[in-house]
A and B are shown apart, each in its own frame.
Chain A
């Protein structure tokens, strides 16, 4: 069924002119942030030719890949009208649990499973607080953010955990396929999978409907509590995958790992067009948003700008990107 659907879409596309396709792109929500990304990239490459080298670009990609991966889970939460402030803790806790499992002498598979399991449990905890008890997502995940962080300090006493790990494990964080770092491949794969899930599946449709009008969705038979539970579980599990990748990269689980990263992740989703009011947003937009922040960070380094300015510049980009989105919606009457 889906194959035949894709064929129709494909044949329709071949009938369009190239210009037509570009004009079509213009209506996508991601269009704005994509243009911004290309523009910023062009400006930096004009200033320094080193920016566009494969070496540098792959480094940039790897640098923002963890934020981008987490933003995929985050944007789904945001589309339901929620927020997940605890992704940094889920990430850090997962890397710590992975390290501890290695330290206890278990296999690579067991260590990865333990890390991902931590994220899954973390997400269930968030999701149940929100659906079963009815806590506002902001409060529920603010609480679990602190609990997770506190547990990490309690377990590590502030000392990094650096167990022996087999060679094969470090491929996840340090390996390359051709010139492309493995974390970047994981990021792209997740982006494709979840973009399809959000656009093509019933689950995705229900996520948008829940955020668009929760009451109407419920009255239409959408099991909104299950949808919400699912997105928080996905968000934390995806964050824990970022934690496993991060640990594989440095082979050291830092007590402060993931600290404050929720803000970068939320920023990526917002820059990518997600509305914190729910119902609007996209996985690809969030990843492009993370890329924009990553490219700016790289530009600051390459152009020898004071690194302290980087945060201020990122903040400015968030405000500009979201303002443009809001203004565009105002003038197109929500049709954009």
Chain B
């Protein structure tokens, strides 16, 4: 019998980027096939080609059950038996479980009204078949993350899917929920359904997978039965790459003096995704660049939000030996903390405002007398930063929405640096910006550290973390699972601390 899905010579080029380069992949029925690789290795592009979101470049061949096909769109993919469960769950909270399972293909009676009874009965049947203990009439909003995921799986199965793609399904699940999920995955595979399983967790990959394909920089590195793989070999295959010369030489400016210490910090409430963060302890030295690494859902951003006061926390923060109360961002700013957020457009910038107005928002009082803004001084200072950070904009009056991602990021950094912070937190500082701007951002961070500013860098780009950090704090499932000094931090050691 031929494999369910064959992909040969699949490439995908975006303007300026080759996301996939002649990838081959073969997926069998009843097999749990793990797709492994770093962020940006091309996993999600490959998934999107499988589900018809993107089309592969000409020359690629896709065969479903032995027949050549061009997957036109997600609806077509579903008709071919290919379904996907994204990391961001796509369920409607204010509908019931049954209504979610049958969303957009609700059974209708002769009078054109919903046939609720049929819907309930069929939903119950699907759930029972999967041994899921969920009431079809329950409101999805009242379910846990794990149960919501079960609802999505049930929906996919009710489409009679033959291939189910799961993108980091356990990233936000509790240990117990993850176990239930792996039982269901095995059960589906036993029924002959093929599973593409994307995960960063080594233990899970080895527990659940039959075969593994490693992607790196858009190309297939290897496909092996799991039995012939070890965690160390897998990690090496995933991360082995030339560290770009662009990152330059690292110079440490860290002093022995502890600037900020965080003790027993925990999230007061779980996040909307159900994640918790607890017992976070670390010191930040003056002039130090402290890297924070962890997988998606490990709690990196939550830790930063707690320090910055935008998320309620328990525990203690001291700056220069004195305990400080940080209850909201204004408190943090008063303590000399700046926060370059991960989501530039949603949290960092007022898109409809000009470069000047965004720039000065953090320190407007510097230009004020009796609350009146002196625009000339404001504009001049903004101009200084535009020049020194080489922000590409026609001028301070340009609206930030018209700037490129890299230049928007520089505006966000500028607005904090202009305040002369003691501590600058940068969350994913180079996500989605090109390599040149990335190198400039690294140089800038290094320069700020040299000036005595302490910097916390959060990034899922491991080479970036290793290149610019003096020490690396590794988070796993909401707890610190290792603090590695520069000499001991390697791709392998950090990845192991994040996954093992």
Chain A residues proximal to chain B, CB less than 8 Å: 1-2, 4-5, 8, 200-203, 205-206, 208-209, 212-213, 215-223, 279-280, 333-335
Contacts and interface: CB of A to CB of B under 8 A. Distances in A.
Contacts of B377: 1
A1 B357 CA distance: 19
Given A279-B352, A334-B401, 20 more contacts: A1-B372, A2-B374, A5-B374, A201-B373, A202-B365, A208-B350, A209-B353, A213-B346, A213-B349, A216-B348, A216-B349, A216-B350, A218-B329, A219-B308, A219-B348, A220-B415, A221-B329, A221-B362, A280-B352, A334-B352
A213 B399 contact: no
Nearest to A225: B328
A218 B310 contact: yes
A2 B369 contact: yes
Interface string B305-320: 0001010000000000
14 contacts: A2-B372, A4-B376, A5-B375, A201-B371, A202-B364, A213-B346, A215-B346, A216-B346, A219-B348, A220-B361, A221-B362, A279-B350, A280-B352, A333-B402
B347 interface: yes
B341 interface: yes
Chain B interface size, as a band, is 35 or more
A202 B373 contact: yes
Contacts of A5: 374-376
Interface string B356-372: 01001110110011011
B372 A201 contact: yes
Contacts of B402: 333, 335
Contacts of B424: none
Contact of A205 (B373, B376, B399): B373
Interface in B321-342: 328-330, 333, 339, 341
A226 B34 CA distance: 52
Interface in B376-404: 376-377, 399, 401-402
B189 interface: no
A202 B353 contact: no
B373 A208 contact: no
Nearest to B348: A216
A230 to B, nearest CB: 12
A216 B362 contact: no
B373 A200 contact: yes
Contacts of A220: 329, 333, 361-362, 415
B258 interface: no
B310 A209 contact: no
A202 B362 CA distance: 11
B351 interface: yes
Contacts of B364: 202, 205-206
Nearest to B364: A202
A133 to B, nearest CB: 18
A137 to B, nearest CB: 19
Nearest to B350: A212
A201 B365 CA distance: 10
A225 to B, nearest CB: 10
A202 B368 contact: yes
A213 B374 contact: no
Q: Looking at B341, B375, B377, B401, which has the most chain A CB atoms within 10 Å of its CB?
A: B375
A42 to B, nearest CB: 33
B372 A200 contact: yes
A203 B371 contact: yes
Contact of B361 (A2, A8, A205): A205
Q: Looking at A219, A222, A334, which has the most chain B CB atoms within 10 Å of its CB?
A: A219
A109 to B, nearest CB: 27
The 7 closest A-B pairs by CB, nearest first: A212-B350, A221-B333, A213-B350, A220-B361, A201-B371, A1-B374, A220-B362
A209 B351 CA distance: 10
B308 to A, nearest CB: 7
Contacts of A208: 350, 353, 357
Contacts of A200: 372-373, 375
A213 B402 CA distance: 16
B341 A219 contact: yes
A110 to B, nearest CB: 30
B248 to A, nearest CB: 30
Contacts of B352: 212, 279-280, 334
B401 A217 contact: no
A221 B328 CA distance: 9
Interface string B118-146: 00000000000000000000000000000
Contacts of B347: 213, 215-216, 219
A65 to B, nearest CB: 28
Contacts of B308: 219
A209 B357 contact: yes
Contacts of B350: 208-209, 212-213, 216-217, 279
